[in-house]
Amino acid sequence: MGKLSFWSFLSEQIRDLPLPKESANGKTITVAGANIGLGLEASIHFGNKKSNLLIATCRDAAKCEQTLEVLRERCAETQPTSIDSWPLELSSFDSVRSFADRFDVEGPEHLDVLVANAGTFTLVYTQTQDDWEIMLQVNYLSLALLSILLLPHLLRSTTCDDPSRLVLVSSLGHYQCDPMLKDSHNWDDVLGTINTERFGVSAQSRYNLSKLFQVTFTRELAARLPSPTPLVVTAVNPGLCHSSIMRDAKNSLFGVFFAVVKWLFARTTEMGSRNIVYAALATNEQAMHGKYMSGCEVVEECDYLLSAEGKAFSQKLWRDTIHVLSKVDDRVSQIISMYLPAK
């Protein structure tokens, strides 16, 4: 069963992770949240592996310009054919829709790799302009919307022998969600229940839930693709890394505690990004499909998701997610009907 122990966590944290030998030559790659942290380090690796076109997304135009400068400098010796950076604000459904619109018009016909990275953490319950709790929207709903809207590009001109890749950046925190979901069989509306401030869990628990939802999305999307698949979908745990995701909480008691934990146990962001690059390029892709990966290996997700109750929850969450996102953009239901068999 899928359990997380301190010793398994520590042994993985101190282990050097491999970079895949495979090149990104000729591939078109999009990385969400590429201005800092894991997204930036993964983008640098993709650039140095000679991707044909690298599109790095950032929250606004100014960050896009800064990121382009960094990528051109860090990938100078093995310059990809083209590097671009487009704005994408994941706390806004309109921004996700606009990005997808632009990709349809200006982007390549075929997308080889989409890295659904980017995440946020906030101690205070906060709602976006779309009336969703911000971690639920940024870390899950908007990335799910982006993945579905770009699904036609990921599936276009691909083959089972050379499938495209969708990599969702999850977290080992999903192992801690079991107690919060013990009554989930009584929830008529999973997303609506968790979205309310009355749900009454800690900020860390909300973050962990958003990461568990990425694992369920991976599993449910993979189950609806044909076999053998022309698109490999994988959820990846980069491990505990030195990053700025806790920047909004750094002056709190929790932020101080987390800073100490990072000082003791965190790996470099570059090392963590190797998990992402491995899932995007390594050739044992069929073994990774629909799976959760950590340390560049397929591992079991948490006990709850492996249980019969967890599998029923996963399917319910998929239905709720498609229902919500179909209201955000009509294309969602059209894409689901066209590309994913009914299940």
Instruction: Write the pLDDT tens digit of every residue in 49-79.
Output: 988 899 999 999 999 999 999 998 888 776 6
- pLDDT 10s digits, 171-195: 988 988 887 888 888 898 999 999 9
Give the residue carrying structure tokens 């068999």. Answer: 341
Q: Is the pLDDT of residue 253 over 90?
A: no
User: What's the gap between Cα 242 and its chain centre?
Assistant: 18
- pLDDT 10s digits, 13-62: 788 888 998 988 889 999 999 999 999 999 999 999 988 899 999 999 99
What's the pLDDT at 258?
A: 65
Domains and CATH numbers, the chain: 6-334 (3.40.50.720)
Maximum average pLDDT range among 156-170, 240-254, 276-290? 276-290
Exposed / middle / buried, residue 299 (Cβ in 10 Å: 0-12, 13-18, 19+): middle
Q: Is residue 190 a contact partner of residue 317, using CB atoms and an 8 Å limit?
A: yes
Cα–Cα distance for residue pair 246/258, rounded to 1 Å: 8
Better-scored residue on pLDDT, 186 or 98: 98
What's the pLDDT at 80?
A: 55
Cα–Cα distance for residue pair 326/28, rounded to 1 Å: 27
What's the pLDDT at 161?
A: 82
Q: Is the pLDDT of residue 1 over 60?
A: no
